Structure 1
Amino acid sequence: MLLATLRRIAFWYERWRQRQDLAELDDHILRDIGISPREVERECAKPCWRR
């Protein structure tokens, strides 16, 4: 059970890191990948345990 909890926390941390990386992309790169700045704001506002 402890191992499962640690894995879940690691997964949440990775999700948080990915959202931080997304927040750092500039508008030019966001346009290239088809994501609006508003979509980035919504995604980054989510807690790490939400998809």
Structure 2
Amino acid sequence: AVERTLAEMRAAAEGDANVLYPMKEALRARATVGEVCGTLREVWGIYRPSDRF
């Protein structure tokens, strides 16, 4: 169930869909916060602010 819901969340993140609902389902299926964050990092990457003001 965890793998399925994480895949659904990944699909939502790759498109224009709201990721909140698939994320809630993944957490309900007992996915860890690390698994959820890792899945989102794979799609969106890591935010690195610039050093410019």
TM-score normalised according to structure 1 size: 0.37
Structure with higher Rg: it is 1
Identify the structure with bigger relative contact order (alpha carbons < 8 Å, sequence gap 6+): 1
TM-score normalised according to structure 2 size: 0.36
Higher helix proportion (structure 1 or 2): 1
